[in-house]
Amino acid sequence: MSFDPATLTYNDAGLIPAIAQDAQSGEVLMMAWMNAESVAKTLETGQVTYWSRSRQEFWVKGATSGNTQTLVDFRVDCDRDCLLLEVDQAGPACHTGRRTCFYTAVRNGEEVEIEMPMADQPSA
Amino acid sequence: MSFDPATLTYNDAGLIPAIAQDAQSGEVLMMAWMNAESVAKTLETGQVTYWSRSRQEFWVKGATSGNTQTLVDFRVDCDRDCLLLEVDQAGPACHTGRRTCFYTAVRNGEEVEIEMPMADQPSA
């Protein structure tokens, strides 16, 4: 593979922000972080693999919950310091059970919940 | 206004990542950073105002280029450490003249440019 994850720009902790967007609906699902090795793993496996800052370990999205993100397209921004992942999201992306993590809006100065948790899904 | 920008979670530099998405097309345009004061300015003025890390000053998007981002909806994620801005984007969002900063894809291990710069727009 000639794309080299080392050519991306990482922060002082060696991380780059990665935005996950539903490839079909265009909904922005979440933002998390990757290091160079998780970028490589994501491209190699096709399963989105973040770096967990709290656990300091690889985080294969959905490995325990089943709510996987299968990579559809991998994009790099003009500054090479942010990633956009087009994904096929299984079930909710958010740990609260909502499709997206961005379920709170600020409207007229007040926080409003604009999305409810998804109903429990039968497992595939 | 009862929403308090101080209730968001900022990094050690006092910044929070903000993703701008075209409110009509759903296209993810760019990611930049805000501090608490730029969050407040964005909500007060309706014009997306980032914090420029390189210039260490407020960055009213489009103030010099005319490629403004008018806020349509302001969203906060579940961890309160990332923002999603639904915007009405005038012209290209990217300084390269492209609609989005995410114009490079990695496909089959190679970088591919998937979007060309927009033609020069007559100013409104």
Q: What are A81-103's pLDDT values in tens digits?
A: 999 999 999 999 999 999 999 99
ipTM of model over 0.90 = yes
- pLDDT for B119 equals 78
Vertex A109: Cα angle to A107 and A112 (nearest 5)? 45
pTM of the model: 0.95
* Other Cβ atoms closer than 10 A to B75: 25
Beta bridge partners of B22: B87
Q: In Å, how far is A30's CA from the nearest CA of chain B? A: 8
DSSP state of B7: G
- pLDDT for A124 equals 45
Is B101 in Cβ contact with A79 (below 8 Å)? yes
Q: Which residue of chain B is at minimal alpha-carbon distance from A27? A: B26
Round to whole Å and give the CA distance between A104 and B78. Answer: 8
Round to whole Å and give the CA distance between B89 and B68. Answer: 6
- pLDDT for A25 equals 97
- pLDDT for B42 equals 98
Q: What is the mean pLDDT of each run of 10 residues along chain B (124 residues)?
A: 93 98 98 98 98 97 97 98 98 97 98 89 49
Contact between residue B32 and residue B40 where contact means Cβ atoms under 8 Å apart: no
- pLDDT for B124 equals 44
Q: Strand runs (DSSP E) across chain A, as ranges? A: 16-22, 28-34, 49-52, 57-60, 69-76, 83-89, 104-107, 110-113
Is B77 in Cβ contact with A98 (below 8 Å)? no
- pLDDT for A119 equals 78
Q: Which residues of chain A have pLDDT under 70?
A: 1, 120-124
Considering only CB atoms, which residues of chain A are within 8 Å of chain B?
Answer: 1-3, 17, 19, 21, 25-28, 30-31, 43, 73-79, 82, 84, 94-96, 98, 101-107, 109-111, 114
Is A73 in Cβ contact with B104 (below 8 Å)? no
